[in-house]
């Protein structure tokens, strides 16, 4: 049975969503399809030169620069994810205590997560320059961003520091989901704080760990701004900070090889997509349990 | 993530979800008081000491970089070679040079233009679409909403090449929109996160008010504009703040698309300044402080709305 006015309501509904949908289709969904299309061409500044099928993808295998970018990105990920998680968890546990000015500290620790990456990177460049504060404090003499051995670790430290606040918020939510009576039981059993944390809090945070890990990994795969800014876009010194996204950017903009760059984008997308699906699958199960 | 939404279900406003995190209370777990259990007092004290020690160390890690940079921004250039905590000669020279000689007044204006226009359109379009998806019934609604949420899965890094190509030669019209505000604005005009937040909020508003407006003979748009929008204040504020912060801070797209110095946003300006005048530390730090300031100010006053963004980021994964 049709409600009176249903036709008019539907028309109004379409009118309301028309503009937002146009944006989503034109600038999100179409580009995704278009990226795959471009990736199957040898595509220069002026447009498609020849159709090459999957050759852009297979050539990525032998692309030494892309392999270097993958190696750097993975190396970065392997270090930054545990660092972010550990720092985030530590901060969450601390600001979950009954301490003074708790709200203030939560807000302050979260702030770097929402500050601009360019300004934060400029601050890092300043603090880590050879005559900078960090070297002064630790009695070192390292040009952090200009030495191929320390450039990537410096970015790792920087981003662990910046993003730990986000992880802190996720961990806080997970901490507060742990039922209080578990702790009461532990207290009655005479368990100390460290034992309580190790035996109860940490294991019960398992869904939290998984969620935070995936968010952190996906973020790490996309690392770009800091690498671009500390190396003037080159990924240097000596390709030490050359990340996957930096390779996509340079291949597309500097080398004008849009087909190859699009193929890299598709590969990165597939990796991120699989991670996201894993996360959803896992959390679907958690909620059902 | 629940991609297939139940229109009838009315979840708590997304803002409430993480509200507690900001305002504290109730804290679970380790902060439990051990009243009544003998011998717990000492353990409690140790725990307090450990907690405060950790808090101080973390605070140093988080405050020192900002305070040091802030201090440097007020130093004359020669003083930046020394390690005095506060400037001997307080000066605004770094700021003056950054704003005039190095053009940051212009970059700030550019950032204000793009962030302002994108925030406006995003709030309006997200509210319009969010209202329709929450309240109006039309065939294909769920499929369309699923598409909207699906765009959250498409990373900017995949969009880089096709968007760059599209803006170089826009489909059909053949406009060149690279290095124009219009092109930058177009690709960020509305976001799925914003639309999702608005829809979730509209779902929580009771229907009676709309029904009353309808009985009074108000049309759909008038009901939306006069009745629903005023009721959605908190969600509008959250979306406005998130979009403003996201656009103000954006480096990825601004650096790609706004290429000529006249069009640089303040973030691109900071990066370029560090490329060219890397060791003018007082000006570089002044520029960084200028680039941070608007978000700091908004954050100080509207902290809780930022957390709504994290809550939705949790939704989008």
Is A276 an interface residue toward B (CB < 8 Å)?
Answer: yes
CA distance B65 to chain A (A): 7
For A144, other C-beta atoms within 10 Å of its C-beta total: 24
Q: What would you measure as the largest C-alpha separation in chain A, in angstroms?
A: 80
pLDDT digits (tens, 9 = 90+) for B77-123: 989 888 888 998 899 999 999 999 999 999 999 999 999 999 999 99
Q: Picking from A113-117, A146-150, B63-67, B204-208, which range would have the lowest pLDDT averaged per residue? A: B204-208
pLDDT digits (tens, 9 = 90+) for B228-260: 999 999 899 999 999 999 999 999 999 999 999
Is A107 an interface residue toward B (CB < 8 Å)?
Answer: yes
pLDDT of residue B123: 97
CATH 1.10.3720.10 is right for the domain spanning B92-316? yes
Picking from A28, A166, A220, A287 by the largest number of B CB atoms within 10 A of its own CB, the best residue to mutate is A28
| Average confidence (pLDDT) over B267-279 | 93
pLDDT digits (tens, 9 = 90+) for B133-181: 999 999 999 999 999 999 999 999 999 999 999 999 888 888 899 999 9
Distance CA B195, CA B148 (A): 8
Q: Output A248 or B220, whichever has higher pLDDT.
A: A248
Q: Who contacts A104 (Cβ-Cβ below 8 Å, separation ≥6)?
A: none
Q: Which of A127, A197, A252 sits opposite B164 (nearest CB)?
A: A252
Is A258 an interface residue toward B (CB < 8 Å)?
Answer: yes
Q: Kindly determine whether residue A115 and residue B158, on different chains, have CB atoms separated by under 8 Å.
A: no
Q: Kindly determine whether residue A16 and residue B129, on different chains, have CB atoms separated by under 8 Å.
A: yes
Q: Kindly determine whether residue B161 and residue A106, on different chains, have CB atoms separated by under 8 Å.
A: no
Distance CA A138, CA A144 (A): 13
pLDDT digits (tens, 9 = 90+) for B28-55: 444 444 445 555 677 778 888 888 999 9
pLDDT of residue A227: 97
Q: Kindly determine whether residue B28 and residue A261, on different chains, have CB atoms separated by under 8 Å.
A: no
Distance CA A126, CA A132 (A): 6
| Average confidence (pLDDT) over B56-71 | 94
Structural Rg of chain B based on CA atoms? 24
Residue B311's pLDDT band (boundaries 50, 70, 90)? low
Residues 141..160 of A with a Cβ closer than 8 Å to B: which?
none
Question: Which residue of chain B comes nearest to A245, CA vs CA?
Answer: B157
Q: Output A122 or B6, whichever has higher pLDDT.
A: A122
Is A9 an interface residue toward B (CB < 8 Å)?
Answer: yes
- pLDDT of B183 > 80? The answer is yes
A31 contacts in chain B (CB < 8 Å): 154, 158-159, 162-163, 166
Residues 114..143 of A with a Cβ closer than 8 Å to B: which?
114-127, 129, 131, 133, 136
- pLDDT of B309 > 80? The answer is no
Average per-residue pLDDT for chain B: 85
Is A198 an interface residue toward B (CB < 8 Å)?
Answer: no
Give me the residues paired with residue A41 across strands.
A51
B210 contacts in chain A (CB < 8 Å): none
CA distance A270 to chain B (A): 10
Is A196 an interface residue toward B (CB < 8 Å)?
Answer: yes
Domain assignments of chain B as residue spans, ordered by start: 26-73, 92-316
pLDDT of residue A140: 93
B1 contacts in chain A (CB < 8 Å): 280, 283
Length of chain B: 317
pLDDT of residue B317: 30
- pLDDT of B18 > 80? The answer is no
What SS3 string covers chain B?
CCCCCCCCCCCCCHHHHHHHHHHCCCCCHHHCCCCCCCCHHHHHHHHHHHHHHHHHHHHHHHHHHHHHHHHHHCCCHHHHHCCCCCCCCCCCHHHHHHHCCCCHHHHHHHHHHHHHHHHHHHHHHHHHHHHHHHHCCCCCHHHHHHHHHHHHHCCHHHHHHHHHHHHHCCCCCCCCCCCCHHHHHHHCCCCHHHHHHHHHHHHHCCCHHHHHHHHCCCCHHHHHHHHHHHHCHHHHHHHHHHHHHHHHHCCHHHHHHCCCHHHCCHHHHHHHHHHHCCCCHHHHHHHHHHHHHHHHHHHHHCHHHHHHHHHHHHHHC
DSSP state of A41: E
Q: Kindly determine whether residue A118 and residue B136, on different chains, have CB atoms separated by under 8 Å.
A: no
pLDDT of residue B47: 81
Is A106 an interface residue toward B (CB < 8 Å)?
Answer: yes
For A289, other C-beta atoms within 10 Å of its C-beta total: 6
Picking from B25, B29, B241 by the largest number of A CB atoms within 10 A of its own CB, the best residue to mutate is B29
Show pLDDT as tens, one digit a residue, over chain A (289 residues).
567 778 889 999 999 999 999 999 999 999 999 999 999 999 988 888 999 999 999 999 999 999 999 999 999 999 999 999 999 999 999 999 888 888 889 889 999 998 999 999 999 999 999 999 999 999 999 999 999 999 999 999 999 999 999 999 999 989 988 888 888 888 888 888 888 888 889 999 988 899 899 999 999 999 999 999 999 999 989 999 999 999 999 999 999 999 999 999 999 999 999 988 888 787 655 443 3
Quote the ipTM score: 0.91
Distance CA B169, CA B172 (A): 9
Length of chain A: 289
- The closest alpha carbon to B286, from B64, B63, B65, B92, belongs to B92
pLDDT of residue A268: 96
| Average confidence (pLDDT) over B55-80 | 94
Q: Kindly determine whether residue B62 and residue A266, on different chains, have CB atoms separated by under 8 Å.
A: no
Give me the residues paired with residue A48 across strands.
A43
Distance CA B220, CA B202 (A): 15
CA distance A228 to chain B (A): 9
Residue B4's pLDDT band (boundaries 50, 70, 90)? very low
Q: Kindly determine whether residue A94 and residue B58, on different chains, have CB atoms separated by under 8 Å.
A: yes
Interface size between A and B, measured as CB pairs under 8 A: 318
């Amino acid at each position: 049975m049709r409600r009176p006015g249903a036709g008019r309501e539907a028309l109004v509904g379409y009118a309301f969503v028309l503009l937002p949908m146009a944006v989503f289709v034109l600038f999100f969904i179409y580009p995704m399809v278009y990226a795959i299309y471009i990736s199957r061409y040898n595509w220069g500044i002026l447009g498609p030169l020849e159709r090459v099928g999957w050759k852009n993808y297979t050539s990525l295998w032998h692309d030494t620069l892309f392999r270097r970018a993958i190696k750097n990105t993975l190396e970065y990920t392997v270090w930054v994810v545990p660092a972010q998680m550990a720092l985030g968890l530590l901060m969450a546990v601390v600001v979950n205590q009954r301490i003074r000015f708790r709200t203030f500290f939560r807000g302050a620790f979260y702030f770097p997560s929402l500050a601009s990456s360019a300004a934060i990177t400029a601050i890092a460049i300043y603090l880590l320059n050879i005559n900078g504060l960090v070297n002064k404090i630790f009695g070192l003499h390292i040009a952090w961003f200009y030495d191929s051995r320390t450039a990537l670790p410096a970015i790792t430290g920087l981003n662990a520091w910046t993003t730990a606040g986000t992880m802190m918020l996720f961990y806080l939510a997970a901490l507060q989901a742990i039922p209080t009576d578990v702790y009461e039981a532990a207290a009655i059993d005479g368990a100390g704080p460290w034992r309580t944390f190790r035996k109860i809090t940490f294991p019960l945070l398992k869904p939290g760990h998984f969620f935070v890990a995936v968010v952190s990994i996906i973020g790490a795969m996309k690392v770009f701004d800091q690498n671009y800014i500390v190396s003037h876009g080159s990924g240097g010194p000596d390709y030490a900070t050359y990340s996957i996204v930096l390779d996509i950017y340079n291949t597309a903009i500097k080398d004008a090889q849009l087909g190859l760059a699009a193929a890299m984008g598709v590969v990165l997308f597939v990796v991120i997509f699989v991670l996201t699906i894993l996360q959803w699958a896992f959390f679907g199960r958690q909620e059902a349990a | 993530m629940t991609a297939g939404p139940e229109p009838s279900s009315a979840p708590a406003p997304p803002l409430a979800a993480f509200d507690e995190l900001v305002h504290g209370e109730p804290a679970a777990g380790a902060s439990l008081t051990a009243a009544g259990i003998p011998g717990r007092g000492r353990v409690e004290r140790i725990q307090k000491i450990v907690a405060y020690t950790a808090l101080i160390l973390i605070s140093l890690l988080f405050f020192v970089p900002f305070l040091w940079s802030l201090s440097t921004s007020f130093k004359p250039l020669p003083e930046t070679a020394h390690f005095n905590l506060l400037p001997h000669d307080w000066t605004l020279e770094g700021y003056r040079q950054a704003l005039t000689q190095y053009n940051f007044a212009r970059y700030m204006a550019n950032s204000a233009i793009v962030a302002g226009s994108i925030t406006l359109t995003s709030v309006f379009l997200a509210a319009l679409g969010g209202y329709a998806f929450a309240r109006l019934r039309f065939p294909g609604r769920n499929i369309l909403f699923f598409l909207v949420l699906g765009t959250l899965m498409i990373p900017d890094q995949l969009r880089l090449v096709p968007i760059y190509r599209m803006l170089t030669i826009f489909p059909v019209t053949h406009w060149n929109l690279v290095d124009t505000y219009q092109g930058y604005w177009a690709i960020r005009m509305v976001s799925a996160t914003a639309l999702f937040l608005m829809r979730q909020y509209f779902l929580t508003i009771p229907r009676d008010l709309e029904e009353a407006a309808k009985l009074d003979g108000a049309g759909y748009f008038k009901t939306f504009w006069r009745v629903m929008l005023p009721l959605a204040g908190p969600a509008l504020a959250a979306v406005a703040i998130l979009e403003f912060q996201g656009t103000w801070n954006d480096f990825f797209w601004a650096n790609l698309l706004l290429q000529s110095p006249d069009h640089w946003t303040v973030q691109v300006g900071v990066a370029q300044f560090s490329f060219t005048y890397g060791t003018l530390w007082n000006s570089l730090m002044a520029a960084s402080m200028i680039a941070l300031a608007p978000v700091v100010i908004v954050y100080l006053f509207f902290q809780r709305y930022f957390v709504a963004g994290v809550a939705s980021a949790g939704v989008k994964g």
